[in-house]
Amino acid sequence: MATPEFEQLQDLKRRFAYMFQTPRLGLDFYRGWLPDFIRACEQIDAVLGDDKRGFRFTQTKEKYGSARYYFSTNAATPIRLSLTDGQGLRELTMGLKDEHDIEKQIAAILHEAEKKSLHKCMLCGAPGEISRFGGWLACACKAHSLDKSGNVLRDAVV
């Protein structure tokens, strides 16, 4: 039986099929973060207007306990670098030039969705915090705390 989140994801892929046309696309979607991702897709579509510029997601995943969304257009493929230095995570986006105004707007939309995931349970979307589970980091609320079951990561994927 399909979950409501699975149906929402299928609807999103139908509405914005052009966003998901990358061959061998690596897509991991997490239940708790799906509403923010859907809003980001709607905002990106509005920014693009009639000219979709070859926009497509190249990967969506969890990294360091929060969401990461990677994209490409006909004009640019931003490069993301994640660095952790003991004082926190630092994100660098490179490869966007002055003339890549639309791509910069898209990057800002996606960074905002990623930032929200830092404090939302990946399973249910309730307020959460990033904790270590074995070698993994994941954002979970008290109800889905990683110390209760290792299944929370698997169960979070739509």
Length in residues, the chain: 158
d(CA 6, CA 34): 10
pLDDT at 158: 82
Query: For residue 77, what is the enclosing H or E element?
Result: none
Structure tokens at 145: 């705390």
Strands, DSSP E only, in 17-147?
Answer: 26-27, 56-63, 66-72, 79-84, 89-94, 129-133, 136-140
pLDDT at 82: 82
* pTM of the predicted model as reported, rounded to 2 decimal places: 0.90
> What are the angstrom distances between the C-alpha of 40 and each of 21, 135, 154, 155?
17, 30, 24, 23
What is the full per-residue pLDDT of the chain (158 aa) written as tens digits? 688 999 999 999 999 999 998 777 778 889 999 999 999 999 999 999 999 999 999 999 998 899 999 999 999 999 988 887 777 778 888 899 999 999 999 999 999 999 999 999 999 999 999 988 777 888 999 888 865 555 666 677 78
pLDDT at 1: 67
Q: Which of 152, 157, 76, 60 is nearest to 114 (CA)?
A: 60
